[in-house]
Structure 1
Amino acid sequence: MTLPSYAMNQASFPEMYERWLVGPLFRPWAKMALDELELSSGDRLLDIACGTGIVARVARERLGEAGYIVGVDISPDMLAVARAVEPAIDWRQGNAGELPLRNGETFDVVVCQQGLQFFPDRPAAAVQMRRALAKGGRLAIATWRPDDEIPFFRKLRRVAERHLGAIADRRYSFGEAAPLEALLRDAGFHEVRSRIISRTIHFGEGAPFLHLNTVALVGMSSLAKEMGDQERKRVVEAIVSESAPVLQPYTIGSGLAFELSTNLATAKG
């Protein structure tokens, strides 16, 4: 999953993302998406908006050297971490609206996990996914449900809004399944289906998660964009401190456990 540009302004963010978020937050969903797609030996897989590459890496664990896997992301910083973690995968920098594919290159499986909601031109990205998918190939796209349906994240956003005014959290900006299905049908996909999946997410340590989530919320605020670095840092610290009561009902020891829901849409080329 890629993150928007505000998160990339911090040199250490991709490393923190990989260290603290990928294992507990993104790996379980990557496994479920790939379970849905039923990978076969020799599959060629494209991971769009791959971030530090968890979908591609789980696919490699399952396919081994028999599969061919490409990960694409717009952020060179995210890709640098992806290459350091798994150099055997073909990592490419590129835009989802104009995928960096070789002449005639297609894939048996295309996956986009929690990236579509960040794309400025979603129809163009869907058309590119269709172009990348071989005839009869399988597609899976995951987008978080609206945060109004996810109490934990809704409460954290409201704490941040005390300091920053209304925040449009882009992570949950494509949360309804019907528009997602329509987007895929309009792009020429067949057998389009979707379902809502919920599960409990466990973090061994709550503090790093809270800090990273707060940084994301501050970065999505128009007011914060006008702040200097020191003022922004002060606001982050204040929001983290005031969020402690929100975390309390979800705290287990030094960790966290909360319910999270996503749409998982599948289709064929």
Structure 2
Amino acid sequence: MGQISFPEMYERWLVGPLFRPWAEVTFDEVKLSRGNRVLDIACGTGIVARVAKERLGAAGYVVGIDINTDMLAVARAEAPDIDWRAGNASALPLRDREQFDVIVCQQGLQFFPDKPAAAAEMRRALAQGGRLAVATWRSDEEIPFFRELRRVAERFLGPITDLRHSFGNAALLEALLRDAGFHDVRSRTISRTIRFEDGAPLLRLNTMALVGMSAAGKAMADQERKRVLEDIVSGSAPVLQSHADGSGVVFEISSNLATAKG
């Protein structure tokens, strides 16, 4: 895997088993209608936008926005027929008076430094009567597989605040959306069993994320960071083994799914 970029690894190893199922769940909840205009905020390599396009076909118009141009390059290669735009969630790159019928932000809000500004931008971009869906992972204290992997990493790096699981409180998520002017705000916790046929790439990518989010990892020189990453991967093998079932790695993961109307 050393010769391909992180966005390529993300698309190849994580999107199918981990992120596509949640995109499907989201659009099962927020039904799409023929001709809908859909905006995917913090689209990454674009799985939410791609699922929307699959469901809408040629009649739908789909836009994906992300701040990471390397992620967008992979998104464009995967789906050239979608309108991919580089931009910040706190200042969306919208055309004059452009609005959408459905806006989705899947596992992105927890990373935004200014969440109220991002929520206000979502409200600005949503058409009257439009529908919003925002998903944020629950705390990893509720997800044993990722909690155990974090604890292994912390033996090498000290305490880690895992941003991926930093906005797991559904009440705070609902309040944020209400404060931004959305109505009919509601949320529920959805749990799914996730299966990876090969757990090794997942473990490596997760370890890269944990090292990158840790204060100690940020302060390390490249060679030391690489050595520590390998030590954590090796030390995490028992966690992977404890979640193996003979045909892959299986674990439960839970997410908030908040919906609202404009």
Corresponding residue for 1:257?
A: 250
User: Which range is displaced more, 139-148 or 221-230?
Assistant: 221-230
Find the counterpart in structure 1 of residue 108 from structure 2.
115
Aligned pair 1:171/2:179, yes or no?
Answer: no
Runs of 4+ that moved beyond 2 A: none
Which aligned pairs between 1:71-90 and structure 2 lie closer than 5 A?
A: 71-90=64-83
Could you tell me whether the CA contact under 8 Å between 1:206 and 1:254 is conserved in 2?
no
Structure 1 gap segments, 5+ residues each: 1-9
- The total of aligned residue pairs comes to 260
Cα deviation digits, residues 64-89 of structure 1 (max 9, x gap): 11000000000000000000000000
Aligned sequence identity (%): 75
Aligned to 1:160: 153
Q: Distance in 2 between matches of 1:124 and 1:221?
A: 26
- 3-state SS of paired residue (2:215): coil
Q: Counterpart in 2 of 1:141?
A: 134
Report the AA paired with residue 218 of structure 2: K
SS of the residue corresponding to residue 223 of structure 1 reads: helix
Q: Are 2:30 and 1:37 equivalent residues in the alignment?
A: yes
CA distance in 1, matches of 2:112, 2:239: 30
CA contact (8 A) 1:116 1:122 kept: yes
Partner Cα distance (1:257, 1:109) in 2:
32
What is the CA–CA distance in structure 2 between the aligned matches of 1:85 and 1:97, rounded to whole Å? 26
Of residues 37, 54, 57, the one that matches 1:64 is: 57
User: For residues 171 and 4 of structure 2, what CA distance do their matches in structure 1 show?
Assistant: 37
Which of 192, 197, 204 lines up with 2:190 in the alignment?
197
Matching of residue 21 in structure 1 with residue 8 in structure 2: no
Cα distance in 2, alignment partners of residues 253 and 230 from structure 1:
35
Q: Secondary structure of the residue that 1:55 maps to in structure 2?
A: helix
> Which digits, 9 at most, give the CA deviation of each residue in 1:118-168, with x for residues without a partner?
000000000000000000000000000000111110000000000000000
Q: Does 1:188 align with 2:178?
A: no
Say whether residues 1:131 and 2:120 are aligned partners: no
Deviation for aligned residue 1:187: 0.2
Q: Which residue identity does 1:39 align to in structure 2?
A: L
2:217: which partner in 1?
224
1:212 aligns with 2:208: no
SS of corresponding position for 1:251: coil
Quote the residue 2:227 is aligned against: 234
Counterpart residue identity of residue 96, structure 1 = A
What is the Cα deviation at residue 254 of structure 1?
A: 5.5
Unaligned stretches of 5+ in structure 2? none
1:102 aligns with 2:91: no
Post-superposition offset of 1:252: 2.5
Displacement of 1:249 after TM fit? 1.8
- Separation of aligned partners in 1, 2:137 and 2:251: 14
User: Aligned equivalents of 2:110 and 2:180: distance in 1?
Assistant: 16
Is residue 72–residue 91 contact of structure 1 (8 Å, CA) maintained in 2? yes
C-alpha displacement of 1:253: 2.9
The one-letter amino acid of 1:196's match is T
Deviation digits for residues 228-248 of structure 1, max 9, x if unmatched?
A: 111000000000000011111
User: Can you list the C-alpha shifts for 1:33-74, whole angstroms capped at 9, x where unaligned?
Assistant: 011111000000000000000000000000011000000000
Q: Deviations over 1:200-239 (max 9, x none)?
A: 0000101000000000000001111111111000000000
Q: Give the alignment's Cα RMSD to 1 decimal.
A: 0.9
Task: Report SS of the residue matched to 1:102.
Answer: coil
Secondary structure of 1:252's partner?
A: coil
In 2, are the aligned partners of 1:43 and 1:108 still within 8 Å (CA)? yes
Change (3 A) 1:171 1:22: same
Letter aligned with residue 154 of structure 1: R
